[in-house]
Structure 1
Amino acid sequence: MSSFKITPVILSGGGGTRLWPLSRPDKPKQFLPLASELTMLQATAARTGDRARYAPALIVANRAHADEIEAQLAAIGSAPRAILLEPAARNTAAAIALAALSVEPDDVLLVMPSDHVIEKVDALHEAVAAGVPYAAEGWLVTFGITPTHAETGYGYIRLAEPLDAHVHRVERFIEKPLRPAAEAMLADGGYAWNGGIFLFKASVMIEALEEFAPQILEQTRLSLAQAERSGLRVMPQADAFAGCPSESIDYAVMEKAPRVAVVPVDLGWSDVGSWDALYELGPRDAAGNLSQGVVRLVETANCLVRSEGPRVSMLGVSDLIVIATGDEIMILPRGQSQEVKRLSGA
């Protein structure tokens, strides 16, 4: 690892609608302890807590969540560099533009979503170290997650020729595929999942935005020039920020830039994008049940059961997802949790 410190950028603007009824607009999934005792935001911040390697993080989030973010980070003793509070959701390109414009041009930024699980944190640090020389030389670096199955819910990265033993040039990005294409990519072996983690110099990202997404750069720059500031909070001007096109960083920049590198890595990664994904993370009991809260299971197998209040008692059933909160109880077959939006109205 180089002697300079990398600045983490934690993107925390997601709504987490697929994990309804626990995840809701006022407290989406990144603020919930879904996969450990820490909330997902806290776990993300803790990954880059080593001050020998990483500078304090920039948090980019929804303005409505400012108090929650400050409280959760204070609870684990993590002091961010700043909290950039978006007045409206404008996808990841605008969020990353805000971060790149808020640091020195030569700063190297590590962008991470706040709502992903990474079980192999040491592997993340090693992958970042492998990517740093390329980021310093002007490459936009992404991290390709080693696929474990033919997943249709993720984008993919096609690896081109190796640049060294750990890093490849990116041949192309691929949108979420149909199952036959996902199975073919898994069999081929030259593909990785796109986990949405990036490493780059701020100036290089700004130059790429200038070339490929100039309106996003112009509007975010204008919104920051007129921003209100209070303590750690930076509140971009709403009308200027609203003028940003809502585009992902992949579409706006990464798919178009000429010097994009990928570090393939096995991170034990999940985007926890559904209740089924959370079930796969475990740990499960001998009957295959994953339960949290006050739960009583008799002759019940392969279920995900979580209660935030009332006791849930189940007898003689299998392969169900049961989520109970103070004002909602959701029951559906395991394997169909992507259909939650039909219940939540999201």
Structure 2
Amino acid sequence: MSTKSNVTLVVLTGGVGSRLWPLSRKSQPKQYLELFDGQSLFEKTVARNADATNKLIVVGNIENYQMSNAVMKKFDISYTHIVEATPRNTAAAIAFAAFSSHPDDVLLITPSDHLIEGSDLYTKSVQQAIALANQDFLVTFGIQPTKPETGYGYIEFEGENVIAFHEKPNLATATNYLNSGNYFWNSGLFCFKASLFLSELEKQEPEVYRSSRKAWEANKNGFLDLELSMQIPSISVDYAVMERSSNIKVVPTSFDWSDLGSFESVYDYLAQKGHPVDSNGNMVIGSEMHTTFVGMHNCLFIHTPDAIMILQKEHSQAVKEVYQNLESIKSPLT
């Protein structure tokens, strides 16, 4: 079992959360929205892991590192900030953290925009992952699926062993995964030694390794150079390493988890917390104005000062297309 002293928490803060537009924007991504008991998901992430480690690395882009710094003032925790000049996906983000760490450090990698409840169960899973990481395995965390979700990737497993990773499925495939019983949701949580990750990255994606190392070696107080960063291929850690390595283990988890990647999951969370829902399952977010739904069921009315969206809950995944359309015309609403 690893000691606390050689475990480093790496919090990834990139991403806009486009499926939560108009609440989530480039200027205020979902991980900084204080929708969750008056806290943001980023704040909850740091608090949840405060007892697991005494070292913290926050990896974020140039647009949001000041928001992270503002949240970190609430904690009496020393941390290092790696500031990306431009987003290059998770393989490079984790590589920067690994290059900045001691080779034998165990890195506990967590997104900053997920909701996890059940602290004792979470701690137990983390301890199990750290123990496996110290045995030189790359470790991922599997979430027991509760429904045929099409918005998540899946891990096919047998015991602790990973058989295969699968991309986001259609509904029929997701239903088959759920019924088969040997598929987890892919949580985006990982744990491994810094040196092991880098050696696997160099083997599987040498260009990502080489260009990330070059960018890291030229960093100035954690800030990365734009020109060098643009040379890094944009590849996820799943594709670059986890899906292609032979020494992967999966920790099955029992804590409650959601990536809150859609308004359907936000709706479920807020309803559980007592947020008002009318007799037809309709909900208002962001407005205190009296709002009445007539002839509508399971809809959300989402209000911000410059945008309104009316959404049927079951179509939450389509919000990303709205965001992409606005981005394509360079709308200030993104």
- TM-score scaled by structure 1? 0.89
The Cα offsets for residues 96-126 of structure 1, whole Å up to 9 and x where unpaired, read as: 1011111100000000000000012221210
1:314 maps to 292
Partner secondary structure for residue 281 of structure 2: coil
Larger deviation: 334-343 or 11-20? Answer: 334-343
Q: CA deviation at 1:290?
A: 3.5
Q: CA deviation at 1:305?
A: 1.1
The Cα offsets for residues 279-338 of structure 1, whole Å up to 9 and x where unpaired, read as: 1123358xxx834xxxxx8x653122112x552422545321111111112112221122
Give the conservation status (yes or no) of the 8 Å contact 1:290–1:302.
Answer: no
Give the conservation status (yes or no) of the 8 Å contact 2:138–2:247.
Answer: yes
Partner secondary structure for residue 118 of structure 1: strand
Match for 2:171: what amino acid?
R
User: What root-mean-square deviation, in Å, do the aligned CA atoms of Structure 1 and Structure 2 show?
Assistant: 1.8
Q: How does 1:97-246 map to 2 (within 5 A)?
A: 97-160=95-158, 162=159, 168-229=160-221, 234-246=222-234
Give the conservation status (yes or no) of the 8 Å contact 1:159–1:170.
Answer: yes
1:58 maps to 57
Match for 2:237: what amino acid?
I
Hey, what's the Cα distance between the residues in 2 that align with 1:272 and 1:89? 21
Hey, what's the Cα distance between the residues in 2 that align with 1:80 and 1:18? 32
Q: Residues 214 and 78 (structure 1 numbering): CA distance in 2 closer, same or farther, change over 3 Å?
A: farther
Hey, what's the Cα distance between the residues in 2 that align with 1:68 and 1:312? 32
Hey, what's the Cα distance between the residues in 1 that align with 2:113 and 2:234? 20
User: How many residues end up aligned between the 2 structures?
Assistant: 323
Partner secondary structure for residue 103 of structure 1: coil
Hey, what's the Cα distance between the residues in 2 that align with 1:64 and 1:33? 18
Hey, what's the Cα distance between the residues in 2 that align with 1:138 and 1:42? 30
Hey, what's the Cα distance between the residues in 2 that align with 1:113 and 1:58? 12
Q: Does 1:275 align with 2:274?
A: no
Hey, what's the Cα distance between the residues in 2 that align with 1:303 and 1:321? 6
Hey, what's the Cα distance between the residues in 1 that align with 2:252 and 2:103? 27
Give the conservation status (yes or no) of the 8 Å contact 1:300–1:315.
Answer: no
- TM-score scaled by structure 2? 0.92
The Cα offsets for residues 230-282 of structure 1, whole Å up to 9 and x where unpaired, read as: xxxx1112111111111110100011111000001122100101111111123
Partner secondary structure for residue 70 of structure 1: helix
1:26 maps to 27
1:2 maps to 2
The Cα offsets for residues 147-177 of structure 1, whole Å up to 9 and x where unpaired, read as: 11111111111112x3xxxxx0111111111
Which structure 1 segments of 5+ residues have no match?
163-167, 292-296
Identity of aligned residues (%): 37
Q: CA deviation at 1:2?
A: 3.0
Partner secondary structure for residue 110 of structure 1: strand
